[in-house]
Structure 1
Amino acid sequence: MSTEQIPAIDVHAHYGRYSRQGVDPKIEEFMTASAELVVRRARLANIEWTIASPLKALLPRLEGNPIGGNEEAAATIDNTEGMLQYVVVDPLTPATYDQAAEMLQKPKCVGIKIHPEEHGYPIVEHGRKIFEFAARHRAVVLTHSSEQNSQADDFVPFINDYPEVKLILAHIGHGWDGDVSHQIRAIQRCRHENVFADTSSARSITPGLIEWAVKEVGPERILFGTDTPLYHAPMQRSRIDYADLSDSDKRLILRDNAIRVFNLNLGS
């Protein structure tokens, strides 16, 4: 069958109001979407499940409300068909650890989201506690990468010490210094097969980038993500459907890897 018929799983999404200092208000409006709108766009692209965190927990930069955002997400996503939840952990807001411990028991909360850049902390200083916590809960962790506070290589010592944790380095090709290889090189440095990268980067539209990533680390380590509503989910889906990859590789990226990483019971 055509790969467009594969019900995809988007492992990197958001919902809510986008807010960033210095950004044109019209762009902020374009990048804002309710959970309902996020799911409606996903359905246009045959995305069956969208795993999301609330923008309220992350934005504006250094001013997000992770406690309130997580509470809102638990209620919103629980009542939104086709959406699953990341609980946001911010080590500068210690109460998010207890909140996450409780929410990870809920069936629709399938992982932890961290964002060193938006919350303003270096992962090298706080990663040990985050990964100790994630290991206790056998959690999947999605993190922004690779800017100064979240350089992909800085995660390697932590993830090597905690093989119980599965880590997704977001945004293949994104790098504060223009180097497109950060996420992939970090995967190659890890001792265990518990580190992955997602496709949720504006760089992903660069011809050859996704194909290069698959060649370097294998299709089993690449997950489909859109970063919706910051990007248009159907466009991101098309990048995988029309990639210069085999249909079996595309199926792994679009769906099967996510089922395995998150231990989802969704059928075929």
Structure 2
Amino acid sequence: MGRNRLDYLTKRPPLLEIAASYTAPVWIHAGYPGVSHALSVREIAQQFPDVPMILTHGAQLDISGLSLTDAFELAETTTNTYFELSGVYRRDFIEDLVETIGPERVLFGTNAPYFHPTVEKSRVINAEISDTTKQKILGENILNLLEIPDNGHSFE
């Protein structure tokens, strides 16, 4: 999506229809008010329920609290949205997101080179969630979403 507004997608449904035909996820650099805010994404996610949509930064950039409500509302009102955690420094957001929607739609991410992969991984490792949930977030979920065989990976 980059610098394009989400309303561009609604004018270009073939992109999302093609993604739906392949069950290919669409990656959205999320959280920008007026561009890719969580509630704007919700409208598109509901129009294209067969397209998995991965939202960076937990679907919000302002994690001071102002956008958290909207990110959680998106999580609760859609089933095809996935929340990538790069830059999400609040452990409580990770824990609450897992508690609210379950671990299956939460994905590890780094947004490298802007964020350091080790630091981003430590945010998941230090969250008060089960080891099984950490394994899902750190790798199993993206393998499942992309239909890649696990082959016994350990994501520690």
TM-score interval, smaller chain = 0.7 to 0.9
Question: Counterpart of 1:183?
Answer: 71
Structure 1 position 124, deviation (Å):
2.2
How far apart, in 2, do the equivalents of 1:236 and 1:227 lie? 9
Query: Is 2:46 aligned against 1:160?
Result: yes
How far apart, in 1, do the equivalents of 2:149 and 2:91 lie? 34
Structure 1 position 184, deviation (Å):
2.7
Instruction: Check whether the contact 2:140–2:150 (CA below 8 A) recurs between aligned residues.
Output: no
How far apart, in 2, do the equivalents of 1:132 and 1:207 lie? 36
Structure 1 position 146, deviation (Å):
1.4
Question: Counterpart of 2:16?
Answer: 131
Query: Is 2:153 aligned against 1:258?
Result: no
Instruction: Check whether the contact 1:184–1:197 (CA below 8 A) recurs between aligned residues.
Output: no
Look up the SS of the partner of 1:208 in the other structure: helix
- Residues 99-119 of structure 1, C-alpha deviation per residue, up to 9 Å, x if partnerless? xxxxxxxxxxxxxxx22xxx2
Structure 1 position 179, deviation (Å):
2.0
The aligned amino acid for 1:122 is: R
Structure 1 position 138, deviation (Å):
2.1
How far apart, in 2, do the equivalents of 1:257 and 1:182 lie? 23
Look up the SS of the partner of 1:157 in the other structure: helix
The aligned amino acid for 2:61 is: H
Deviating above 3 A after TM superposition, structure 1's stretches of 4 or more consecutive aligned residues are 175-178
How far apart, in 2, do the equivalents of 1:207 and 1:240 lie? 8
Instruction: Check whether the contact 1:145–1:183 (CA below 8 A) recurs between aligned residues.
Output: no
Look up the SS of the partner of 2:57 in the other structure: coil
Q: Residues 207 and 126 of structure 1: is their aligned pair in 2 closer, same or farther, counting only changes over 3 Å?
A: closer
Larger helix percent? 2
The aligned amino acid for 1:126 is: L
Structure 1 segment 110-121 matched on structure 2, within 5 A: 114-115=1-2, 119=3, 121=4
- Residues 80-109 of structure 1, C-alpha deviation per residue, up to 9 Å, x if partnerless? xxxxxxxxxxxxxxxxxxxxxxxxxxxxxx
Query: Which of 143, 149, 153 is the aligned partner of 2:35?
Result: 149
How far apart, in 2, do the equivalents of 1:187 and 1:132 lie? 22
Query: Is 2:116 aligned against 1:232?
Result: yes
The aligned amino acid for 2:30 is: S
What is the TM-score normalised by the length of structure 2?
0.83
How far apart, in 2, do the equivalents of 1:131 and 1:197 lie? 19
How far apart, in 2, do the equivalents of 1:207 and 1:218 lie? 15
How far apart, in 2, do the equivalents of 1:264 and 1:214 lie? 23
Identify unmatched segments of 5+ residues in structure 1.
1-113
Q: RMSD of the alignment, in Å? A: 2.0
Query: Is 2:126 aligned against 1:242?
Result: yes
Identity of aligned residues (%): 26
Q: Residues 207 and 159 of structure 1: is their aligned pair in 2 closer, same or farther, counting only changes over 3 Å?
A: closer
How far apart, in 1, do the equivalents of 2:42 and 2:106 lie? 17
Query: Which stretch shifts more, 206-215 or 179-188?
Result: 179-188
The aligned amino acid for 1:150 is: S
